[in-house]
């Protein structure tokens, strides 16, 4: 949450900063601001709301500066106001700072600074600018290092000073920062997307690192001011893949990306002849894999629902008991972890603060700790001892879609890899993989029904509540469908297993309370059908996801969306798509901001 962009070089900074903010707006869009040096003076421009509001303010202003910082905010401390908008300054106005994260001890720091400091905002971030002011004696890097030695919390920082118009100081602790390397120029951002048009060569700052950047060189040190050697990484994504490509919204593009990116996720990671998967990033020998007695999947939100689907896959295919833990709860219950436990942290961004903290706790307790992430070079990818990239490409809509299906596919391949090592037959593995290779084409058939699902959204857009039902491996799908609807349409919804409905939720049903149910042909088909009969008896409107050829489905429901048949464990890869499309079209019908829903941010980098 929140996004930082900075530039120092020979180009005009303003277009780079504004363009970068637009590419980071998914991280926060309550307000935005920037600062550039003009005639030796820092000039700040801020606006509440979206980047367009900031651009409007800049229309009649001309800046030739080749050095500046910018920030798009997702409010934590203090309301959505111009004074609370970044960048912030110190009392003198000489120090300019943009900050992501939370300074946990900002009240103590503020008190220690005394009454001589004048504050213009309610934010914790502004206190940092004043702390650096107190420590400054002519060397900006040293002032930043001294200040950070007193800070408790998380930060991604970009800092300028009037007396050093050719120097940018950046620092990271728990909030990602990427430095892009150009020809006598540097780009800094919260992730790589703002710099893809200019460079693909990047350096990822680690926690506790501080970069002093000038136009022609850069020095990176730790908090003890010791030089740190860094490796240059190359970003595989191109700028085009991060654009809408003719779609009305990023979310719709990303829904339609799924057939392609699923192929990217599984390509080269299985051997059909052997009926098994090979995910080399696991970094475990076969004897080590055989010693694993328990698997823990740690995630938040959409990733946690992919993990729940993965639980069914691991237990069915590999016979290994699996727990799914919400990351924000994991380390606060003193989890039982040992060296026969394999822990996966699952996160699209690879920066989710709760998941990262949980993985560190699991590692401390001796578990094998691995990551399943999308963003190359992200913190979880670097902090774990191995894992797998899901290769979903840039996901810029706040509501995750293609990451869910790719995470689920990777978990399936891991389950198959462990299963073949333990008890699963070659023939079963081959059938599963053959069915998996058919999924992209079957996804395309579902996506062709987008206009029909749009009509359903128009029909149900005035509903105030929804209930989602699923059983077995489709219960996590129901949870994900409910989450998507509430995230972007703001319609209240909840999801329950079909068999649990009569243990309470059935009391909600009425002709004004629609039910979206998943009743595809699998071992729980008859059970699910009985559950839906109970809904029908209460006269609640029913939308069904059913398997092609199931003519009886139309007798149960007002509306049916048919999906191609597949093996039961693969059903989440198909059944999720109609729910994503339904949520999308509902949000559009209601005039919501689909890509940037209120109160949400893409990457939650604070606890």
Residues belonging to the active site: 2, 602
Retrieve residue 550's tokens: 């199931």
Kindly state the helix (H) or strand (E) to which residue 3 belongs, with its residue range: strand 3-8
Q: How many CA atoms lie within 13 A of 269 on its CB side?
A: 27
Strands 186-189 and 178-181: antiparallel
Retrieve residue 320's tokens: 């290994």
CA distance 223 to 238: 34
Q: Which residues face 1 on adjacent strands?
A: none
350: left (phi over 0), alpha (psi -120 to 50) or beta: left
Give me Rg for the CA atoms of the chain.
Answer: 25
**What crossing angle do the helices spanning 402-422 and 571-589 adopt, rounded to 10°?**
170
Retrieve residue 414's tokens: 């891991």
Distances from the Cα of 86 to the Cαs of 34, 203, 263, 501, in angstroms?
7, 24, 41, 47
Residue 427, classified by CB atoms within 10 Å of its CB into exposed (0-12), middle (13-18) or buried (19+), is: exposed
Are 605 and 34 contacting, i.e. CB atoms less than 8 angstroms apart? Answer: no
Are 430 and 468 contacting, i.e. CB atoms less than 8 angstroms apart? Answer: no
Retrieve residue 201's tokens: 């060569």
| Beta-sheet strands, E only, within 257-362 | 270-271, 276-277, 294-299, 322-326, 341-347
The SS3 call for residue 513 is coil
Retrieve residue 26's tokens: 């998914």
- Got the DSSP string for 340-362? TEEEEEEESSS--HHHHHHHHHH
Strands 515-519 and 542-547: parallel
Strands 209-213 and 465-470: unpaired
Kindly state the helix (H) or strand (E) to which residue 159 belongs, with its residue range: strand 155-161
């Amino acid at each position: 949450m929140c996004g930082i962009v900075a530039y120092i070089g020979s180009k005009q900074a303003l277009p780079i900063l504004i363009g970068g903010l637009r590419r980071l707006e998914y991280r926060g869009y309550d307000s935005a601001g920037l600062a550039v040096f003009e005639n030796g003076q820092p000039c700040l421009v801020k606006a509440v709301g979206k980047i367009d509001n900031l651009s409007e303010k800049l229309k009649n202003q001309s800046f030739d500066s080749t050095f500046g910082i910018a920030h798009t905010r997702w409010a934590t401390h203090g309301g959505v106001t111009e004074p609370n908008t970044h960048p912030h300054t110190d009392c003198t106005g000489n120090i300019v700072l943009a900050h992501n994260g939370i300074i946990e001890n900002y009240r103590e720091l503020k008190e220690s600074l005394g009454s001589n400091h004048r504050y213009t905002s309610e934010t914790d971030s502004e206190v940092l600018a004043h702390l650096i002011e107190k420590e400054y004696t002519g060397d900006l890097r040293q002032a930043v290092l001294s200040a950070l030695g007193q800070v408790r919390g998380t930060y991604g920082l970009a800092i300028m000073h009037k007396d050093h118009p050719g120097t940018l100081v950046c620092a990271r602790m728990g909030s990602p920062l990427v430095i892009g390397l150009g020809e006598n120029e540097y780009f800094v951002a919260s992730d790589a997307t703002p710099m893809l048009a200019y460079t693909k060569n990047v350096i990822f700052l680690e926690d506790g690192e501080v970069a002093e950047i000038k136009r022609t060189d850069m020095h990176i040190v730790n908090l003890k001011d010791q030089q740190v050697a860094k490796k240059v990484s190359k970003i595989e994504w191109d700028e085009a893949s991060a654009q809408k490509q003719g779609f009305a919204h990023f979310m719709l593009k990303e829904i339609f990306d799924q057939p392609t990116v699923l192929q990217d996720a599984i390509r080269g990671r299985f051997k059909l002849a052997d009926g098994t998967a090979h995910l080399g990033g696991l970094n475990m020998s076969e004897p080590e894999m055989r010693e694993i007695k328990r698997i823990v999947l740690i995630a938040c939100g959409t990733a946690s629902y992919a993990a729940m689907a993965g639980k069914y896959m691991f237990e069915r295919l590999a016979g290994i008991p699996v727990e799914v833990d919400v990351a924000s709860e994991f380390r606060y219950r003193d989890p039982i972890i040992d060296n026969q436990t394999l822990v996966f942290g699952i996160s699209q961004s690879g920066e989710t603060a709760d998941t990262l903290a949980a993985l560190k706790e699991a590692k401390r307790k001796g578990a094998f700790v691995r990551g399943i992430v999308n963003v190359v070079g992200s913190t979880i990818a670097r902090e774990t001892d191995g894992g797998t990239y899901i290769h979903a490409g840039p996901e810029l809509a706040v509501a995750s879609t293609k990451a869910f299906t790719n995470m689920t596919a990777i978990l399936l391949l891991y389950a198959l890899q462990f299963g073949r090592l333990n008890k699963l037959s070659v023939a079963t593995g081959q059938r599963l993989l053959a069915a998996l290779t058919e999924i992209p084409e079957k996804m395309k058939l579902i996506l062709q029904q987008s206009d029909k699902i749009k009509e359903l959204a128009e029909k149900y857009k005035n509903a105030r509540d929804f209930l989602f039902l699923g059983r077995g491996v489709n219960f996590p799908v129901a949870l994900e469908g409910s989450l998507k609807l509430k995230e972007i349409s703001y319609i209240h919804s909840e999801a329950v297993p079909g068999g649990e409905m009569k243990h309470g939720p059935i009391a909600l049903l009425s002709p004004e309370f629609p039910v979206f149910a998943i009743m595809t042909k699998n071992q729980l088909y008859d059970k699910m059908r009985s559950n839906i009969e109970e809904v029908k008896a209460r006269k609640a409107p029913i939308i069904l996801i059913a398997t092609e050829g199931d003519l009886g489905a139309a007798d149960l429901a007002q509306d049916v969306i048919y999906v191609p048949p597949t093996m039961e464990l693969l059903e989440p890869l198909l059944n999720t798509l109609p729910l994503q499309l339904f949520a999308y079209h509902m949000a559009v019908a209601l005039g919501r901001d689909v890509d940037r829903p209120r109160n949400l941010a893409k990457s939650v980098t604070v606890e």
